[in-house]
Structures are given as structure tokens and as C-alpha cells.
Amino acid sequence: MIGPQLVNRAGRIIINDLWHVDVLHIIQMIELLVWVLLDCRVHRSALGTLIQQRDWTMKTLPMRLTLIVFALFLATVAQGQSDGWYVAPAIVYTDDDADRVIADSVAGAQIAFGHDMTEHLTFEGLLGYSRIEGWVGSSVSYPDQNHLEISANLLAYLDRDRVFSPYLLFGIGYLRADLDPGGSDDRPTGTLGVGFKWRMGQSRFSIRGEYRARLAYKSGENLTDNIASLGVQYRFGGKKPVPTLQDNADSDADGVLDIWDVCPDTELGTQVGSTGCPLRDREADGDGDRIPDSKDECPNTRKGNAVDLRGCTLDSDRDGVMSGEDRCPASRPDAVVDQFGCSRDDDGDSVPYHLDDCPDTVAGARVDVFGCEIKDVIRLPGVNFVTGSDRILAGSESILGSAAETLKMHPDLEIEVAGHTDSVGQGDSNYSLSERRAKSVRDLLITRGVDATRLTARGYGESQPVADNETAQGRADNRRVELRIVKRQ
């Protein structure tokens, strides 16, 4: 039972101060009500003495706020309970009242210690400290300030057990602002704010974010600071739920476990939503493509086919064959495809139709990478050299790269790389130049993966012209390198 003197004192405070309630009276009432509600048997004597002897002036306000939280803690410990308690450290951003003449900044931290009193209400004690730099102007500067805050807060949740739980915050407290150097300002405070608690999986940790407006009261000189904080919350006590076989049961076989099933007795075969309840007509999905029938323009899509937002089968490579039937779903946009969505090869030479320069090649003929039949000579138009040199000019690499791919397609061919020149210059010089150019081409083909044992290089100089050396065009045609087939296995 609660001592009669304590109850009488609570009654006198409530009755005598009914018309003159201020912050100090509210603190007194909270302290006494906490004491009455908790009925802490073990520590009642020691704390009762402290309550009777304490000074009710403004200077003891921090201790008195701390006493409220301390009383809750002792009561819980005395009764062997730890569930519902938590600690929440955070960093603090202060957007101060303009009259303080200090900089808005992240310059402090706070720690809250709280307890869940009911399903929706949490009581929390908060201690915060910030060192905030004074504002500096072009011709004047203001001193730094150290803020020490202590408050008792009430948090109101709609549903505290949700993964993401918003809440409202109400509180009263005390703020000491010490100027650096010299002077201090002590004020009672009132706080109103909003926040959220975001639980991290199934752990005891949550992310806490909060924004509150804090009124520091002083007759005729009230100051309002806006405080934002971000931190973590760790919950003490309690044991993590251990899943059981029953937790994984699905009694109505609708695909939603009983622990999540809002409608656990759904008739077998009924289509349900994520909550386990039957879908309404507008939510029904006859072909199971996750597009409701009310929005599905293709309501009979084959099961398993990927669909677009209209509920129709996708054509990922836009070749005219739907993805569900497309055996080559990554065909080139310009590819001509068959009924299975793969590039056509009408002449069967293994060169896709869109790359085949000779789409009517005779069946069985050897072809190059362009789908054209390989005769005795593979010409390399566009392979050019620096004048008087064996250095290959830029732009020739792609042509030689295609030639290398052709040779790798037919590993049974042995090739002579033959170099030729026009008739300009001395015969011996032209012979030497043509041979060096042939070797340059041979070396490049080897670097592109052609087996070196299949390649020889020979220069013919000006001895085998294919055009008239008396014209500029003729001389250009005679300056060439060719790939001659010397052996077919």
C-alpha cells in the first residue's frame, strides 16, 4: 500500500494548485503519480526520504526529471522485469532560435532511455549535449554556447510493433545554455515533435529519426529551437521468437502461411491476395500473369510467359516472336528470323541471313565470314600501307580481322600470304617491299588467332599485275596483298 502522507501530498498539490498550474507543479505531479502507480516496494523508503527532503526550486529541476526515469527503472528492476526498456543514442542537428545568434549545425548528441508503458504509449527520459559555434559576421562575432538538455517525454504510437512505426512526442524538461566565455541561461522547456522507429529485420536494433520543436520558456523572452536527430535504438529483454512447425503451417493451402493469413479458412482453390483473403473480381487473374483480369488485354497468356504491363507476352528482342516461344531471345534488332526467333540461314552456310552477302551460296561450299564462296584466292580490298613502307594503315584491321575469322572457320586450309607492288621503282626494291608487306599481314593474322603453321609469306614484286600500270587506278589495283589457298585437306 502507498503511505498516506504521500497520497495526501499528491491531493494537496492537485487541489491547491488547480488554478495555478505551472511547469514545476506538473513535474511534481508526474513524480508523485509515477511513484503511486509503480508502488515500488524495495526502494520506497529510500526514495520517499529523498522526495521529502528535496528542494522544489528551479535549480533542482534536472534532478527531479531524472528522478522520474530513475523511479521507473528501479521499479522495474525490483519486480525483475527488463522487457519494454530500451536505450537510443543519436546525433543532433540544431536549428536554433534567431535570438540565440549561433550557427545551425550538427554539433551534439543525445541519449534516451525509455520504457513501454502501454500498447500505444512509451515514457522516455532524454539527456542531450551540444556545443554550438557562435555566429560570426563581417564586423562582429558571438560566443559559442554549450547546451545541456534533460527532459521527460511521452511517445504515442498507433502501432508500435510495425516494422516502420511513426509516433508523436510530447515532453517537458530543462535546458541550460552556457555561454563561452561567461554566463548561463537556465529555462524550463516544452517539446512537441514527430518521429519514426524503423526496425532492422528481426534484431533488437531500430533506426530512430525525430524532429521536434522545443520551447525554452522565460517570461517575455521565449526561445523556440527546432531539433532533428538520427540514431539507433536497442531494446533490452525479451527473447526472439523461435519459429515452430506451426508457424510454417498453411492450414487452408492458399499459399499464405497461417502466421500472415488474415483469412485462414479460405475455401480450397480460391484465388487469394498477399493477405490470404479471396481476391475480388477486379483483382482476379485468370492466366496467372500477375496482371488483374480487369487490366489484362491478353487474358489467356500461356503460363510462365513474361508479360508487359498490358498482360501480353513480351518480345524482348523485337523480332516478332514472343519471348515465351523465342529460342534465340537476344537476336539482333535487324536480324531476319525464322519461326523460332533465330536468325535465318536460307543457304545453310552458317552465316546468318542479315550478315550474308551471298544468300544463295551452293550447298556445301566453303564460305567466308560474309557468306560468300571461297575460291582459290581471298582478296583483301582496303588493306593499305604507308607509301614505301610495310606499316599497315589504320582502317585495315577490321578487314584483316574478318579474314582471320574466315581462316579459323576452315582450319584445314593452308594459306600463302602473297604481296604485290606496281611497276614504279626498281624491281629488286619492289620485290623486297612486297615480301615485307606480306609478312606484316601474316603477323597480324597470327595475332588474331590463326595458327602460324598454316601461313607462309611471299613477295612477288611487280611480276603479277592484275591491271594496267600506265594508269593511276591500275597501279592502285596492283599494290595488293592476297591470301592464296595452297592446300586443302
Copy the grid coordinates of residue 179.
Answer: 555561454
Per-residue burial over 181-213, b = 16 or more CB atoms within 10 Å of its CB, e = otherwise = eeeebbbbbbbebebebbbeeeeeebebebbbe
pLDDT of 315 strictly over 80: no
State residue 334's pLDDT score.
63
**CATH number given to 375-488:** 3.30.1330.60
At residue 487 the predicted structure's pLDDT band, cuts being 50, 70 and 90, is confident
| 3-class DSSP state of 236 | coil
Side chain identity, residue 298: C
Asked if the domains at 83-240 and 375-488 fall in one CATH topology, the answer is no
Q: In whole angstroms, give the CA distance from residue 147 to residue 58.
A: 17
| 3-class DSSP state of 117 | coil
pLDDT of 463 strictly over 80: yes
What mean pLDDT comes out for the span 357-365? 72
Copy the grid coordinates of residue 318.
Answer: 523485337
State residue 406's pLDDT score.
84
DSSP-assigned letter for residue 262? S
- pLDDT per residue over 217-267, tens digit each? 988 889 999 999 999 999 987 555 444 545 568 888 888 887 777 888 888
pLDDT of 168 strictly over 90: yes
What mean pLDDT comes out for the span 8-22? 43
State residue 63's pLDDT score.
52
Task: Decide: residue 164, CB within 10 A, 0-12 exposed, 13-18 middle, 19+ buried.
Answer: exposed
For the chain, what percent of residues have pLDDT higher than 70?
Answer: 68
DSSP-assigned letter for residue 327? S
pLDDT of 48 strictly over 50: no
> Residue 398: phi, psi to the nearest 5?
-65, -35
At residue 138 the predicted structure's pLDDT band, cuts being 50, 70 and 90, is confident
State residue 394's pLDDT score.
84
Side chain identity, residue 102: I
**CATH number given to 83-240:** 2.40.160.20
Copy the grid coordinates of residue 71.
Answer: 523511479
The residue ranges of every structural domain in the chain are 1-81, 83-240, 375-488
Side chain identity, residue 270: T
pLDDT of 164 strictly over 80: yes
- pLDDT per residue over 388-424, tens digit each? 889 988 888 888 888 898 889 888 889 999 999 988 8
Contact 442, 455 (CB under 8 A): yes
State residue 489's pLDDT score.
67
The C-alpha angle 189, 195, 199, rounded to 5 degrees, equals: 135
